[in-house]
Amino acid sequence: MTRLGVGCVIGGLLALPIGSCASDPTQGYAAVSPFPAGVTTIAVEIFDNRTFHRDLEFELADALIKEIEARTPYKVTSADRANSILTGRIRNVQRDQLSKSRLTGLSEEVIISVTIDFQWRDLRTDEPLLGRESFTGHGLFVPSRPTGEPIELGEFAVVQRLARDVVSEMRAQW
């Protein structure tokens, strides 16, 4: 193969990925960031919690901060230094028995469902960037013997799931 032929093949291969990208993420692959432009910092407030399940709001805030720091380009900071803020409330916490022991009648598998409302706002313009109501996550735990998992394990699972899902929602609208 001649130099001209090799150059054409290399040039064609280099142009291939560029030709398959779209500037709009709704029309295929995009070479742009899926996160809103201009937002560099975010404050995460402790969610309002009026349920009887205490400390979930603190665990959720901690999980959200860790997920935002790990999976987004944003830096988590205080509200007076941030250019966006994530607020919300824990609307409902529910435990449902999935199965029970035939011998004892005690719960073998329990699922915890936590429903939240949240809003992400740009503090510079006071415009909402994202808002969701009745956003639900689930966590499973096995309270019966021999496993004997505590309810806190189920709460931890649901809080981690919610944090992952909220951060995934923070990407650009598809």
Angle of the 151-169 helix axis to the 56-71 helix axis, nearest 10: 40
Q: Compute the 3-state secondary structure of the chain and give helix, strand, coil in percent, each to the nearest 5.
A: 30, 35, 35
Length of the chain: 174
Helix (H) or strand (E) run with residue 107 in it: strand 107-122
| Torsion, Cα of 64, 91, 171, 42 (10° steps) | -50
Contact (Cβ atoms closer than 8 angstroms) between residue 71 and residue 167: yes
CB neighbours of 129 closer than 8 A, spacing ≥ 6? 36, 39, 84, 120, 121, 122, 170
Distances (CA, A) of 56 to 50, 99, 115, 119: 11, 25, 11, 18
d(CA 118, CA 136) in angstroms, rounded, equals 11
What pTM, to 2 d.p., does this model score? 0.77
Q: Does 18 score more than 80 pLDDT?
A: no
Q: Which two tokens stand for residue 124?
A: 């510079």
Task: Kindly write down the DSSP assignment for every residue of 154-173, as one continuous string.
Answer: HHHHHHHHHHHHHHHHTSPP
Domains of the chain by residue range: 1-32, 34-169
Number of Cβ within 10 Å of residue 60's Cβ equals: 27
Q: What would the pLDDT profile of 109-131 be if each residue is shown by its tens digit?
A: 889 999 999 999 999 999 999 99
Candidate from 22-26, 85-89, 123-127, 141-145 with smallest mean pLDDT: 22-26
Architecture of domain 34-169: 2-Layer Sandwich (3.30)
Q: What would the pLDDT profile of 56-92 be if each residue is shown by its tens digit?
A: 999 999 999 999 999 999 999 999 999 999 999 999 9
